[in-house]
Amino acid sequence: MKVIASIASAAAAVVIAVAASGCSSSAAATSPGSEVTELRYQGSANNVTLPELAEDLGYLGNVKLKWVGNTTSGPQDIQSAATGQTDFGGAFAGAVVKLVEAGAPVKAVVNYYGEDAKTFTGFYVKNDSPIHTARDLIGKKVAVNTLGAHSEAVTDTWLEKNGLTPDEIKQVQPVVLPPNDTEEAVRRGQVDVGSLSGVLQDNAVAAGGLRSLFSDYGLFGTFAGGQYVFRNDFIAQNPDTVRTFTTGVAKAIEWERTTPRDQVIQRFTQIIEKRNRGESTKSLQYWKSVGVPHAGIITDADFTRWQKWLNETGILNSPVDPSKYYTNQFNGLANSAPTTQATASKDDA
């Protein structure tokens, strides 16, 4: 099986760590009647996350963020939250399902990334590649940034929707590569297909020599891809803080959606420069859209979308029960935006 062994090992490690962490989280350190107002988190180099933007815009009130380093992947980020190393983390919806099903006591509270006509993940081959259809991928290698996450789930879903059987899909090999190395790996023939997004996608397309095979937006239209999660004990002990955070992130999403692009980029630049982490702001010029639908409101579709993939990879052996994974009760904008977010059509973006 492609990733089940590694998923099982990681999940078991998280459950053990959660049990061992006990009172290690900042939530457990609060006295009765008080709430944590400093949230530990992992950031992303050369980027501004939605919580960072929300704090800079004043949407988090008295809640402050404490950066403890940069995450290496979504699954790693939510594992850190589950084990009390951080207070919140964000990852692909399928990774959230895996963590919860493994026994980790976490709950998703707001969507934080998504895809639309401007912001999406594309899968690219060389112009002269013989790969043109899903069936051409049998026996080939696809570069992804991490196993068991967004790009692998999208690839498998695309293959399944184009007629490949589970056994045939298993013959398509995901290869983990750092995103910065993916373009060159495709050009050199080290992999057959590469998953690219953001500035890396823009640079690769501008350089020429590559063509798009498929994209997640082409597969689903506009959709939410992943959520921020908190531990259940943290939520229980700090409901007002979680509400402030969640609503602040939702407001930041809407700010990005409604603010002129040049002003968004200018704000991002100011945030990166003043936090003084030795980062570059060059890639900010490629920012196009927030991508997240409807104020970050989570719906059942954000999880049921991956039903077949979750079953075929062995993560679930039953229908998805979205109520286990998320709540919108802390999103103050939930009542002011559409509550049925079924996948939007591509013409809606």
Euclidean distance between CA atoms 83 and 67, whole angstroms: 17
Comparing CA positions, the residue from 127, 121, 120 lying closest to residue 187 is 127
Q: What span, in angstroms and rounded, lies between the C-alpha atoms of 232 and 237?
A: 9
> Which of 189, 220, 251 is the endpoint of a domain?
220
Are 256 and 295 part of one and the same domain?
Answer: yes
Per the DSSP assignment, residues forming a β-bridge with 255 are none
Do 151 and 269 lie in one domain? The reply is no
At 193 the three-state DSSP class reads strand
Instruction: Record the pTM.
Output: 0.85
Same domain as 326, residue 177: no
pLDDT of residue 33: 55
| Same domain for 327 and 240 | yes
Q: Which of 27, 189, 50 is nearest to 114 (CA)?
A: 50
Q: Under DSSP, is residue 337 helix (H, G, I), strand (E, B) or coil?
A: coil
| Structural domain ending residue among the three candidates 168, 187, 220 | 220
Residues 94 and 228 in one domain: yes
The reply to whether 175 and 299 lie within a common domain is: no
Q: Per-10-residue mean pLDDT for the chain, 349 residues long? A: 42 48 44 83 93 98 96 91 97 96 97 95 97 98 93 96 95 94 97 93 92 96 97 98 98 97 97 94 90 95 95 92 97 71 36
CATH number of the CATH domain containing 208 = 3.40.190.10
State the pLDDT at residue 140. 98
Are 106 and 130 in a shared domain?
Answer: no
User: What pLDDT shows up at residue 336?
Assistant: 65
Please list the alpha-helical segments (H only) found in 22-70. Answer: 50-56
Last residue of a domain, one of 220, 246, 267: 220
| pLDDT at residue 295, rounded to an integer | 96
Could you tell me if 275 and 293 lie in one domain?
yes
Q: Are residues 201 and 340 in the same domain?
A: no
> Rounded to an integer, what distance in angstroms lies between the CA atom of residue 227 and that of residue 295?
12
The answer to whether 21 touches 84, Cβ cutoff 8 Å, is yes
- Please, are residues 257 and 339 in contact by the beta-carbon 8 Å criterion? no
What is the residue range of 176's domain? 122-220
Determine the angle formed by the axes of helices 4-21 and 74-82, rounding to 10 degrees.
Answer: 30
Kindly give the interhelix angle for 74-82 and 93-101, rounded to the nearest 10 degrees. 40
Verify that 238 and 336 share a domain, yes or no.
Answer: yes
What does the pLDDT read at residue 31? 53
pLDDT at 199: 82
Same domain, 181 and 329: no
Looking at the fold, whether 244 and 267 belong to one and the same domain comes out as yes
Number of structural domains in the chain:
2
Tally of CB atoms within 10 A around 146: 22
In the block, tokens 């999406």 appear at 120
